[in-house]
Structure 1
Amino acid sequence: MGRIDAALALATRHRRSLTVAMVLLVAGIGFAALRLVLREVHLSDVRAALAEVPRARIAAALALTTTSYLLLTGLDWVALRSVGRPLPWRIAAAGSFTSYTLSHNLGLSLITGGSARLRLYGAAGLAFGEIAQVAAICGLAFWAGVAGAAGVGLIVGDGVVLGPVTLGPGLSRGLGAVLIGLLAVLPLLRTRGITTLGPERFGVALPSLKQMASLGALSLADLTVASAALFVLVPAAAPGAFPGFVVAYAVAVVVALLLHVPGGLGVFETVVLASVPGDRPALFAALLLYRLIYYLLPLLVAAIGIAGAEGWRLRHPIRRGLSYVDRAGQLLAPTAVTVLVFVAGFVLLVSGALPGVKDRLSDLDDMVPLPFIEGSHMAGSLIGTAMLLVAPALNARLRSGWAAARLLLVGGAIFSLLKGLDYEEAALQLVVAGVLQYCRASFYREGGILTDRPRWPWLIAAAAALGLSLWAGFFAYQRTPYSDELWWRFALDGNAPRFLRASFAAGVLLTAASAWQLLTASRTRTLPDALPPEGVLDAALAASTRTDAALAFTGDKSFVVSAAGDAFLMYRVQGRSWVVMGDPVGPVAAWSELVWSIRRACDARAGRLCFYQASERMLPLFVELGLQAIKYGEEAHVALAGFALAGPKAKSLRHAVRRTEAAGAVFSVEPAATVPALMAELAEVSAAWLAEKAGREKRFSLGVFDAGYLSRFPVALVRVEGRIVAFANIWTSGDGEEASVDLMRHRPDAPYGTMEAMVVRLIEWARGEGYERFNLGMAPLSGMPSGRLAPVWARLGHALFANGERLYGFAGLRAFKAKYGPDWVSRYIATPSGVAMPRALIDLARLVSA
């Protein structure tokens, strides 16, 4: 039992790696099985079969593909209404089309398609739970469509033959009736008053009977049309064989989905080839065309559409920019361009693995010498591999990634022509380069392509792309016997030697680049628990507009420093959460570089990035980072030019000043140089204050009583008969506009009103020193909306503010600061959306209260 428990614990710790390994293993088995199925099929036969497919059938497949995706948009449109959040069809269509193109090609629909729905529908105002409900309803409808189509095919057909398995008419119809009967389960539950499938709190809300009927009809029609798009590409396909073909298609879809192979690649083709009788080369040619038409073409259309919308938005910032389409495009555009470049690189790799067209090679041989053809073939494969490595830099909006990808795409187009007059793939490279150029403004961040360590999905995807090209090459040359001489043979018809040399070079490049990134340290400049160099501190603090930049000196934070050395941000890791304190310190122009540096470092370590007490100027960056901003409370800013003790509103302040002065209190500000001599007496005041509060020092968002820390700042003192009874250390901003206080502590026997009077004198002192505003600090949870339409977190915060006085004294703290007539400025927390939000908030609460 001990060994079993240890094995289970090990599997739990490495479940992500084991899952990836399992998917890769299944995919490898699928391609091995596909190779066995195609062992008697030659590439020349497949090419001949492709050339014989009538254009009318290709046009019919394109039309059926379009119809299928239109039907899928109806699923989202109905599902949105079933959860009570109806949206216009164009929005549902965008969410559906993007989601299904990603999930069809990449698999793992909850992650890929679910992520697209989360961003698109989230930009339209839906909450995470509502989006999850929509995805779940669409998933149930899809499986209902699979069962319904297979059931109808079994009932209508006169028996079904699935490779070695033969179902007679009676058994076929009986099995079909069972599948159709299963579809009645959910409507039956609905008629009995059951409205939720699963636990009431986390279950799926069942649509109405009318909506169920609509979803079922749409899903059934979609699977039928999708299978017909493949059926029309199969040569000599008799209409009477369509019912059995639908059953085989449904089985292939189910197997591919259950095995979680991305896009069902290899697995889907193997099941269809093993299940559908007929000419193997012609059927495989039909599957290749279907993969291109139904999978890759919609993915390219979606990616080009999203990238084009982002490029249009950047060129029309006034006419558009606040609409749903603009917000959704801004979120998805980097991913879309990344997909385009990755696909372009993959096409170059596969093209380099396959033999060139003889007639085109002969024409090319008349124009350029053989060394140019050989070198161009090698260069094309290397460029394709380089595109796979550049793709992550595009996803991070790096300008260097954009420049490198553009150069590679143009080079890929040139070498595609020089290696075999492959004008089709050259056109694809130029189209992607044009889209990239159109979206140029989207890529503005500084940093090198290999700035940070890669995330494992990129390396796995690149390795899988190279593996697929190798499989294609070995399939193409399976009848070519291997010999060492192949490596050194250079001839116009030497396709197999060119494949070996190009694949070896591509593998070396991918391995070398991956090893370089994995073995070298990240260039993100993080300085754990140590202050940045003096030059960085001086430059950043001089440009700071906020006084809380002084929290850099508390000694508990790590730092990210800009490449120019003029800005930094401070953060601390709590659990898996990387919590950034406030805004970055330094010029605003460096903020984007800093937040994306910590984002990449955080992602590389599977962390959750969140920001605490950020200003409104950070909100656009939160949108780009994919974080959800939550109003945390309001900060009190006193405009010093208009502050006065006259008038009825300042009555309590005048009373406090008079009362403390009558008790003999004397206010003074001591420069930082004199603070060390006062430290012993200040420590007595701090200890008495902490004993009365029964609390402890909090370092992250507040200063700490530490001799080294306090000696950096001027200190305001209140003395009675020469004895210090209260003190506060003073923060000032580098731009000379803001002053504030950090620690405010007093003895229990200090005169009543001492703290109010000290703040009044501090405000007057700051005005005399030429500052424009005095920052009284945060009033947590204040100013939050509480109406029926307010977000859940806002209503919860308002309830805590109104009723949580015993826990923290939220209302009392705001009332104290309101005496000084401040302007209230919103401050925000930003966390990942969805299920990661509560975990990040828990870590944040632990950090701030520690």
Structure 2
Amino acid sequence: PYFMSGLSLLSGLVFATFCFFPLSPDLRKYWLLLLGIFLYLPFIFFISSREKLTYFGQVSLKTRLSLLLASTAEWGTALGSFVSVAYLMGLHVPLYNLIPLYFLAVIIGIFSMIPGGIGSFDLIVITGLTSMGVSNALAVSLLLLFRLTYYIIPFLLGVVFFFKHMGGHINEKYFKIPSRVFGGSFHRILVYLLRFLGIFLILSALIPERLANVYFINRFDPIQEQLIWQFPSILFGTLFVFMARLIRRRVKGAFIASLVTFVLALIYVNLNGISWAMSFLIVLSLVLMLIIRKRLYHRYFVYSWEDKTKDFLFLAFTILVLLVLGGSGFWSHLLPPRNRDVLGHFVHIWFDILLGSVIISTIVWVVLRVLAPRKHFGQSMNNERFTALLEKYGGASESALAYLHDKRLFWYRVDGQDQVVFQFAQTSNKCVIMGNPIGNEIYYRPAWEAFLKNLSDWNLQALFYEADESVTLMLHDYGFDFMKFGENAMVDLTTFSVDGKHGKKFRKPTNRVEKAGFQFKLLNPPFSETQMQEMKAVSDIWLNGRKEKGFSLGFFDEAYLQQAPIAIVESEEGDIVAFANIMPTQNKQVATIDLMRYDFEKAPEGIMDYLFVKLFQYFQAEDKKYFDMGMAPLANVGTEEDSF
């Protein structure tokens, strides 16, 4: 009942002014209506103060005054909106006429029982204003703007706040799945919208005459009356395509860069007259950017060749459309007119094209430089630090590849102590991690989380190579897919033997090589300069002009080979004809080698078989359980009909 109390109080105040102001005669005759509404206030005050009434009564004076104040403020705000809109429109109607007109229209609208007084309120306002000399058009405009500012805009804001409030509860209830779905959808919509705006701005700048004849598209053209070569439009079009790439890669810096681009583009497209459709699309892009801003969390951006190729093809498609749609009108700007200097025309045209290309390329280059990493991800190899971790926790077969110094390391530390390390190589925006993490297995999972978090901050994509089953399952929890390329070939040294019928195939190459005067030796570091030169000569012959591989395979590097013993095969003259370096994995169960090279001019047939058999026997004596032969490509891959 107190909802009307404020209206009642204000109606009484308006009624009191009838004696002091020259009110319009058309309004003065409704004095009885205002008086009746004013009498509602003392009536409701009297009823609500009765102690015997349980429904409307038993309301304290403080509560009644608070309700009256709130209601008065609400109706006063509505009156203020109406009067403000009227004066902003330039309606110079005296307040002593405008205020009573508003309250009379409201009261009649309430008595009509129509929601919002639609129709009855509007009729009274239009009738009252026209009687005061205001045109019907201005009166209707006043009503439309008042409805918009007081009803529609607050309603839309209420809807936004409602969904924001209720959406938060729904989002929490369903484990934040709705926010991810809508956020991802808005993200993709923004990317495609920016690409559309980019291609359209470029085409509308180059061939506005042709686009002006295309239905629907001509409604979006912001520069129909401008010259055909409009560099700003081409610039903004290219930047929109580039911003779409940054947003696609979730670069944090794209937020500020996009806002600046949107504002400048919005100003540009409206310089020659308001372009409502194009402005709407740019504002929509701005709103979507504000919605998804929390999804832009990568600190850096590395423009990969994959992304460059996609964007180049996209712009190439735009140029193809230009050539198709441009027709003779487009080519006439490139070809010189008759009776004119051909060379001068081409120099002028292509100089403008070159200058525009240089400016656009410079802007893109500057943005890339600002968003590019200031340093390399990870740390360079530190032999002492890495060796200390290997000696403490051991490593896998591929751990010693870090000594090649062709990869970088990411260290995970706890309380200042090294616990886990990853070895990887970076190319463009791809980070290829070699094998399993090395170190304390207790900290594998937090180390993965820290590593992947840093990769995400740097906007790098992780690829894991030669990861074993346990690591593969762990990575699957983090959203990685996997593909099997093969298996590690492991020799069980506990069952290996050259005796008996089964060992005949091992004894035969061994005996043949030894009868030829060759023998197996194990050299311990440090190696002499002569020994290194001999092995380098064998390596060069074995390579036969081919390039070294690296990363997952070792290469001939003296510092790398000095890390562990090397098995060699010597001739009777003492020349090294074959060698294999033992990898310093510090693994007590598994042994492995890396380089296996021989001089095919001096070494006898079966030299590698002989070297392997001798290595198996050597590691058996060292109580190793397995010998890792490395990855066997495509082993047990595709053995089933639906496997991959």
The normalised TM-score by structure 2 is 0.46
Larger radius of gyration: 2
Higher relative contact order (CA 8 A, sep 6+): 1
Flag the structure with higher helix content.
1
